[in-house]
């Protein structure tokens, strides 16, 4: 559980950062300065990172034993709204630690497929 939580947290921050860059830097450059270079670079990176985010979010929700609706779906949609992934990551982290206190201790190893 600890490894899945750590992977999800890292990717959530990466997805959130790329989405903010895409929406608040690249898109204004495309439409205001007529320069679509940033969009053509950042969009595929964000898309790839979001696919990884979806897989890791689903994996984390399954390990936590969450229902598909609304916890898993909410967790997976966190990467679609700018800055939402930061809040969803924080919510998931707190909830996992409440439900599974052993996830807070990195020395605790469970039988988990990596």
The reported pLDDT for the residue numbered 77 is 92
Length in residues, the chain: 114
Instruction: Find all residues with CB under 8 Å of 80, minimum gap 6, and list them.
Output: 19, 50
Question: How confident is the model over 23-50, as a mean pLDDT?
Answer: 96
The reported pLDDT for the residue numbered 4 is 93
Residue 112 lies in a domain: no
**76, two tokens:** 């997976």
Residue 111 lies in a domain: no
pLDDT in tens, 74-96: 999 988 888 999 999 999 999 99
The reported pLDDT for the residue numbered 52 is 97
Question: How confident is the model over 21-30, as a mean pLDDT?
Answer: 96
Total domains, the chain: 1
Radius of gyration of the chain (CA): 16
Look at residue 5 and tell me whether its pLDDT is greater than 60. Answer: yes
Residue 84 lies in a domain: yes
pLDDT in tens, 40-57: 999 999 999 999 999 999
Residue 69 lies in a domain: yes
Neighbours of 26 (CB within 10 A): 22
Give me the chain's average pLDDT, please.
Answer: 90
HEC string of 14-25?
A: HHHHHHHHHHHH
Look at residue 64 and tell me whether its pLDDT is greater than 70. Answer: yes
Q: Which domain holds residue 52?
A: 2-104
């Amino acid at each position: 559980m600890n490894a899945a939580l750590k992977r999800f947290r890292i990717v959530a921050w990466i997805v959130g950062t790329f989405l903010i860059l895409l929406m608040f830097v690249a898109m204004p450059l495309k439409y205001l300065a007529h320069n679509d270079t940033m969009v053509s670079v950042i969009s595929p990176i964000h898309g790839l990172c979001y696919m990884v985010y979806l897989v890791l979010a689903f994996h984390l929700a399954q390990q936590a034993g969450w229902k598909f609706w609304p916890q898993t779906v909410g967790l997976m949609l966190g990467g679609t709204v700018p800055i939402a992934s930061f809040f969803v990551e924080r919510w998931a982290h707190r909830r996992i630690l409440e439900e599974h206190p052993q996830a807070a201790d990195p020395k605790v190893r469970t039988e988990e497929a990596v």
